[in-house]
Amino acid sequence: METRRYRTFQALILALVGFFLLEKVWSGKILLYINQRFVLLVLIAGILLIISAQLIFQERKKSAALGEEGQESNLPSVSPGSRINLMWMVIPLLLGVLIPARALGTSALPNRGITVSSPFTIQNTTNVQALDRPAAQRTVLDWIRAFHAQSNPQSLNAEPVDVIGFVYHDPRLQANQFFIGRYAIACCIADATAIGITVNWQQSAALENNHWVRVQGSIASGELDGQAVPVINADQVLPIQEPDQPYLFP
């Protein structure tokens, strides 16, 4: 009887985890946890968990029927370690259900920091591809890559910029400047990296950290901590709502 109860609980947990993963994929919230290239794997994992749960339920029902007929159950015995491992599966499920998914904000920056260079460049072609996109369609990450792909970054000067991101006042910047930032995810939220471009804007002090804005203006060459970096000379800075997908996927 104890073994059958364990198997029932095991199947229930597997099914709940499977449905949890499928719901996150269906709602699109899975992209607040992982890079989009891994969504198919999560979808497959959710389906396999549900199938596994169904197989365990069937095995448990068959064993219960044999028990009623007085035959020996074919279910394996349950070790104390197996019970503990099953309980460990409950914890992340509860956390995922009870804690709503939300994007990282500027409150994480004191520990993570914000970088003005591209942390995801694996091949030079990655940077060059950023130059293939129309200037007005480049993201914060695209501009950083395009800037560092140029042997003479000043050749980008005066190109039009239209980007969105969150506001961050970094102590390294001047009073009339702020960072427009985004988090980029290569694998999952654990490796999320904050990237930013300096924006020149006279009303910078009126902007609050973590508020999302749309910055339109032109690109220029600047310097930060002795490093050549892109700078946006803003013509206007407009407040916007946080987008449904706040992360960038390099």
Distances in whole angstroms, Cα of residue 131 to Cα of each of 139, 153, 234: 11, 12, 21
**CATH code assigned at 175:** 2.40.50
Strand pairing class (114-115; 177-184): unpaired
Domain boundary among 98, 124, 142: 98
The predicted pLDDT at position 131 comes to 64
Q: Is 151 contained in some domain?
A: yes
Full-model pTM: 0.79
Query: What is the number of domains present in the chain?
Result: 2
The predicted pLDDT at position 111 comes to 77
Q: Are residues 87 and 126 in the same domain?
A: no
Q: Are residues 73 and 154 in the same domain?
A: no
Cβ atoms of 87 and 11 closer than 8 Å: no
The predicted pLDDT at position 69 comes to 46
Q: Is 249 contained in some domain?
A: no
Q: Are residues 43 and 78 in the same domain?
A: yes
Q: Is 138 contained in some domain?
A: yes
Give residue 146's domain range: 106-239
Domain boundary among 98, 114, 130: 98
> What is the residue-level pLDDT of the chain in tens, covering all 250 positions?
467 777 788 889 999 999 999 999 999 999 999 999 999 999 999 999 999 999 988 887 776 655 554 444 555 555 656 667 777 778 888 888 888 888 888 888 887 788 887 666 544 445 556 667 777 788 999 999 888 888 788 888 889 999 999 999 999 999 999 999 999 998 988 888 999 999 999 999 999 999 999 999 999 999 888 888 999 999 999 999 999 899 998 8
Q: Are residues 138 and 60 in the same domain?
A: no
